[in-house]
Amino acid sequence: MGAPGGICTIAVDAMGSDHGPTEFIRGLLYATEELELDCNFTLVGKGRLLERLLKVRKLHIDPARIQIHHASEVVTMQDKPIQALRKKKDSSMAQAIELLRDGKAQALVSCGNTGALMAGGTLRMRPLDGVDRPALGIIIPSKLKPFVLIDVGANPESTPLNLMQNAVLGANYAKAALGIEKPRVALLTIGTEEGKGNSLINATHAYLQTIHEKVIYYAGPIEGFQLFDGAVDVVVCDGFVGNIVLKSSEALFGFIGATMKEELVRNPKRILGAALSKSAFRDMKVRLSPDQHAGAPLLGLKGNILKSHGSSNYIAIANALRIAQELVKHDMIDSISSEINQANDLI
Amino acid sequence: MGAPGGICTIAVDAMGSDHGPTEFIRGLLYATEELELDCNFTLVGKGRLLERLLKVRKLHIDPARIQIHHASEVVTMQDKPIQALRKKKDSSMAQAIELLRDGKAQALVSCGNTGALMAGGTLRMRPLDGVDRPALGIIIPSKLKPFVLIDVGANPESTPLNLMQNAVLGANYAKAALGIEKPRVALLTIGTEEGKGNSLINATHAYLQTIHEKVIYYAGPIEGFQLFDGAVDVVVCDGFVGNIVLKSSEALFGFIGATMKEELVRNPKRILGAALSKSAFRDMKVRLSPDQHAGAPLLGLKGNILKSHGSSNYIAIANALRIAQELVKHDMIDSISSEINQANDLI
């Protein structure tokens, strides 16, 4: 899937971020200078604005590596998913998807409207042969090491086949993005005894046992209390459960942080203490932050589409670009295509 | 449902705690002296052990308020749910359920094996007429005020009817345990636009709109990121989702705490800072701890059965006893019985 000479191109929907295109340009700078990405970039969005921003920033890389592709419209967070790309054909998101579809880019990164990106990406890029429903994977920090949670919202009504395919998609994502050779895959459930959980889980468990050691490495079911242990590399769930777990975890993290702040400024002694241990809170935030692994790919399509959080800062954006490059370099789509068919044949 | 003279009796399965019966006796002391509970208690478990523990502790309450009911066996965490109570008929859990069934107690509190308590409780007490499946409710702290999450694990395969009934059960629990006159009930989903979520959620949403203002106050759907806002009093979900959200939240809380501790002892400056702000961490823990509202009732049965966490400390146990007394004083079961039938008639 790579472009000639091993160099690939990433299409960047530069308009979707909550922080505007400036943050994307900063992300690009960080990606090329600090993370040393060696791919090309096509920035999609308002041409003159992007040109001006690039001039101000002065990137120390070969100008030939950065193209600008003008798009006059922007998909907003208020736009309805399916209508958005139909009505806004000259939006940065729609145009970036076209670049991917036409083979002018090998991956796409966007911070824009998730629903529009998923709907547009699925309609234009189509699922790979054998893939029933695409799934959103995301990398989450844990006690030991980061892991992939899949699906976090693409498919809220899953069948056992969907969940089995999520396992294959997630394992391939862990290989490409985390560099794990044999990812251990677990199934998220309640009560890990045989027969607990529900009928969806029990049927999926049987499928995963069938493809174990043939396509993926199935470590068995895990419960919610084990989620942040880091004992496995991929945790499979349906998009309804995964989305709620992801978003409620983000909310809980914010709630704990806000409560801590309130308590730490309650009297002068606490304020002094907090000032002395300030660096600990900063380091903790870095360790628990998803910035290193930002960018959730919509897996199972005929193209690499990564969604980055609307509020992503430049480090998160740079890391999404880094992951996009990894997916291309690992030929993840080819690998998914072959393993999905192997898995389908086994069940 | 109250005993003569307004005084009720709580049956206490004193053997199931991870900390042994001592913690239960401490909890009883705290409940009567600090929380000023005025009900009677029947402690169920090894008679001579309980008598000895009571003598050591010297409770300053009328001895007539505490009875001991001897039971020679203990249900362990390893016992299989349904077999446990069938095989261990003289266990403290089975005997406590019998006291409730025979009307010798109006509520039961246990820290024991959740599965055994749910299976035994459901089999012996039976669901109320009109209740399709009982549900576990739990009170969770949030930014503004605590709220009820229901179901957190009793029914992992729910129908729209089950979820609608969870709304009625949860609202009644919020009234009795939190003292909220008109609890606002929300439905947990992903994407709150009409038609998002999944078919279970869409059908439930319609049911809840139908019973809104007639039986409960339906505030609409909420997403995971809103879970800890505290804008509503009851959040309805199925037992699979609720159990995973509850347990993964506990796990995340532990993970954040562990990371914070590691960072705070990394150098002398941080250690000094942490020592100065120690009280802030203690107060934060108290605010975020579920001890004040410990005890998850199995709602929808013909008896008040409260499950307390196996690792509950005496404060959590005392609060579970307090909530048990509230449920009896509010005649929660009568109220549920009438409202479930109203709701069923509307749909």
Each residue's pLDDT tens digit, B146-185: 999 999 999 999 999 999 999 999 999 999 999 999 999 9
pLDDT tens readout for residues A253-295: 999 999 999 999 999 999 999 999 999 988 888 888 777 777 8
pLDDT level of residue B4 (50, 70, 90 thresholds): very low
pLDDT score for A160: 98
* pLDDT number for residue B2: 40
Rounded alpha-carbon distances, angstroms, from residue B76 to A10, B97, B211: 57, 16, 41
User: What are the CA-CA distances from residue A248 to residues A145, A191, A230, B253 (Å)?
Assistant: 21, 21, 19, 12
Contact B252 A247 (CB under 8 A): no
Chain B CA closest to residue A152? B190
Confidence category of residue A164, pLDDT binned at 50, 70, 90 = very high
Write down the domain spans for chain A: 1-131+300-331, 136-292
Question: Do residues B156 and A190 touch, judged by C-beta distance below 8 A?
Answer: yes
Please name which of A278, A316, A277, A326 lies closest in space to residue A175, comparing C-alpha atoms: A326
Residue A154 has pLDDT above 50, yes or no: yes
Backbone conformation region of residue B12, classed left if phi is above 0, alpha if psi is from -120 to 50, else beta = beta
Predicted confidence band at B319 (pLDDT cuts at 50, 70, 90)?
Answer: very high
Look at residue A2 in the predicted model and tell me its pLDDT: 41
Q: Do domains A1-131+300-331 and A136-292 have the same CATH topology?
A: yes
Q: CB distance A249–B246 less than 8 Å?
A: no
State the pLDDT confidence band at B192, using cuts at 50, 70 and 90: low
Please say if the pLDDT value at position B3 is more than 70.
no
Distances (CA, A) of A23 to A26, A63, A288, B193: 5, 19, 22, 29
Rounded average pLDDT over A197-221: 96
Q: What is the pLDDT of residues A42-87, one digit of tens each?
A: 999 999 999 999 988 877 888 889 999 999 999 988 888 888 888 9
Q: What is the pLDDT of residue B150?
A: 97
Q: Which CATH number fits domain B1-131+300-330: 3.40.718.10, 3.30.420.270, 3.90.79.10, 3.10.180.10?
A: 3.40.718.10
Name residues 230-249 of chain B within 8 A of A (Cβ): 237, 239-241, 243-249
Residue of A295 and A23 predicted with greater confidence: A23
- Quick: pLDDT tens for B124-144: 999 999 999 999 999 999 999
What ipTM describes this predicted complex? 0.92
Q: How far is B126 from chain A (nearest CA, A)?
A: 22
CATH architecture of A1-131+300-331: 3-Layer(aba) Sandwich (3.40)
Residues 56-115 of chain B with CB under 8 A from chain A are: 115
Give B60's pLDDT tier (boundaries 50, 70, 90): confident
* Chain B CB within 8 Å of residue A187 CB: no
Instruction: Report the CATH number of the A136-292 domain.
Output: 3.40.718.10
